[in-house]
Structure 1
Amino acid sequence: MRSIRDLGSSHGWRLQRGVLDDGREVFAKTGAAASGVFASEAAGLRWLGEAIAVPEVVEVGADRLVLSWVRQEPPTAAAAERFGRSLATMHRAGAAAFGAPWPGFIAELPMDNSAAADWPSFYGSRRVLPFLRMARLPAPDVAAVERAVERFAEVAGPPEPPARIHGDLWSGNVLWSGESGVLIDPAAHGGHRETDLAMLELFGLPYLDRVLGAYREEWPPAEGWRERVPLHQLHPLLVHVVLFGGGYRDSLMNAVRRVLAL
């Protein structure tokens, strides 16, 4: 490598920007990682990249992931609209099943990507309940989440085929470049497309109204999708409780109450 610059750390991994001997700029995550984390991210990027712009996987190993560098630009309304249309295109590319043929991770936390027959059972058994067990919530909170899970089939809306989703689509995983959004750090799998839309709403995104408007023009979500946003936010909120503690408990339980009221 011709040059390298440290960018700090995240989840215990060292982040770096470098220039290869052939002049290409790259981004690297290095360091000890849970077994398979970098391979899982690389597999997800390559899969999503069949349908939407993502960084190229330059190298992947047990202790490193090297990607092409994304030159960032300020977000614009036009870029947001283009991203909304691209996101719909990616979702429509579909998946073979709810799940993925590689082990799943969100940050450093493992996720079960084994297939399930339908989305409500996949979401309950592979996403919500495992993280509920890790969250160490008070017994009444656990019981409330379990009651919500029991309602998933009833409140999930019309059945849809598996969509090709990012799976961790908060604003920090959307880089603005080339007059669109570029996806990074996926927890990619075959899931429900409303999950990505709900995640964008959870922590906000520049020009989100333009993103969602363009998405709806390209592929309108099923009726009632707005009311189902809290359902799809249960998993990311549980992830945040596990990673960062009880500060996210109130947001989680508010979403649970809204699901129970559907």
Structure 2
Amino acid sequence: MIIASTPSGPVEVPSFVTGFARGRPVRAVWRNTLGGLTFQIGADGRRQFVKWLPAGRGTFTAEAVRLRWAARHAAVPQVLDEGADDEGSWLVTAGLPGRSAVDGRWLREPAAAVRAVGEGLRALHEALPAADCPFDWSAGPRLEAARARAAAGRTSLADWPEELPRFRTVDRALAALADVPPPDGPVVCHGDACAPNTLVGEDGRPSGHVDLGTLGVADRWADLAVATWSTVWNYGPGWERPLLDAYGIAPDAERTAYYRLLWHLTG
């Protein structure tokens, strides 16, 4: 499975980022699976971040709207600017305290990192008011998106994760999602609750969340299934149950399997 990660080599800095920095230090801190990059501008308490996507790969409009809504209730980045030009699209935000849960500091302390991810996700779910949320991330619309993606030829069994059940065809995999588990919640889900998107303060407590471009109301297990799965990618086996313990919930094998399969098929 291809996952987002910290860039390991030289990164070409887009002209917008260079211009925005105005001589301040620029450091590429993340590369996603769409070819998008996140740059840290400046340092210490005056850090700002620029997320950038090449032209034709989408915009950050949906994320900017969600961040502005969520900022009234939880610790998420403040939107400073959002736009696009012929080279690409960008989203500029103010920095939050803390480091990503997959920063080198926390990779050396996985127990503390996993606890922060679980506690942080629970706090986010409790802070964001589902009744007032205008965004939807429930299984029904996501399944329709997965079907459309498959119909466009963008789904393949070639890169199938070994942790998921094997299917002979994509249609059979989609059919397995037709019976949606009764929702547990609903809550306002993060939408990409992988470990890197929780920030952890120096005290080991969660200090905020980033990358909320698909935030919306859904079953809490839509987040939990992916959050626990990401512990395997980032910290190795054995950390799924500690995350659930930190969140304060018992394992749910049915919902976990359902939402991991849905996650994979929606790309």
Identify the TM-score tier after normalising by the shorter chain: 0.5 to 0.7
Residues 13-60 of structure 1: CA distance to partner in whole angstroms, max 9, x if unpaired? 45322239xx72111123544586212122233334444332322222
Residues 156-180 of structure 1: CA distance to partner in whole angstroms, max 9, x if unpaired? 03x4453111111222323333433
Question: Aligned-residue CA RMSD in angstroms?
Answer: 3.4
- TM-score under structure 1 length normalisation: 0.65
How far apart, CA to CA, are the structure 1 residues paired with 2:169 and 2:133? 27
Q: Which residue of 2 aligns with 1:131?
A: 149
Give the counterpart letter for 1:4 in structure 2: P
Secondary structure in 1 matching 2:50:
strand
Where does the alignment leave 5 or more consecutive residues of structure 2 unmatched? 1-21, 158-166
* 1:193 Cα deviation after fit: 0.8
* 1:233 Cα deviation after fit: 0.7
- The reply to whether residue 234 of structure 1 matches residue 256 of structure 2 is no
Counterparts in 2 of 1:31-180, with a 5 A limit? 32-34=54-56, 37-62=59-84, 63-70=89-96, 71-72=98-99, 74-75=105-106, 76=109, 77-78=111-112, 80-92=114-126, 93-96=128-131, 100=135, 119-125=138-144, 127-134=145-152, 135-137=154-156, 140-152=168-180, 156-157=181-182, 159-178=183-202, 179-180=204-205
Where does the alignment leave 5 or more consecutive residues of structure 1 unmatched? 101-112, 241-262
Q: Identify, as 1 or 2, the structure richer in helix.
A: 1
Counterparts in 2 of 1:199-214, with a 5 A limit? 199-204=226-231, 206=235, 208-214=240-246
Q: What percent identity do the matched residue pairs reach?
A: 24
Q: Would the aligned equivalents of 2:80 and 2:92 in 1 still touch at CA under 8 Å?
A: yes
Q: Which residue of 1 aligns with 2:162?
A: none
Q: Which residue of 1 aligns with 2:216?
A: 189
Secondary structure in 1 matching 2:200:
strand
- The reply to whether residue 7 of structure 1 matches residue 28 of structure 2 is yes
How far apart, CA to CA, are the structure 1 residues paired with 2:244 and 2:71? 21
* 1:98 Cα deviation after fit: 8.7
How far apart, CA to CA, are the structure 2 residues paired with 1:185 and 1:211? 20
* 1:188 Cα deviation after fit: 1.0
How far apart, CA to CA, are the structure 2 residues paired with 1:213 and 1:177? 20
- TM-score under structure 2 length normalisation: 0.64
How far apart, CA to CA, are the structure 2 residues paired with 1:32 and 1:120? 29
Kindly tell me the number of residue pairs found equivalent between the two proteins: 212
Counterparts in 2 of 1:218-257, with a 5 A limit? 220=249, 225-240=252-267
How far apart, CA to CA, are the structure 2 residues paired with 1:137 and 1:14? 25
Secondary structure in 2 matching 1:60:
strand
Secondary structure in 2 matching 1:52:
coil
Secondary structure in 2 matching 1:37:
coil
CA, structure 1 residues 97+120, in 2 after alignment: closer, same or farther (shift >3 Å)?
farther
Q: Report the more deviating stretch, 6-15 or 163-172.
A: 6-15
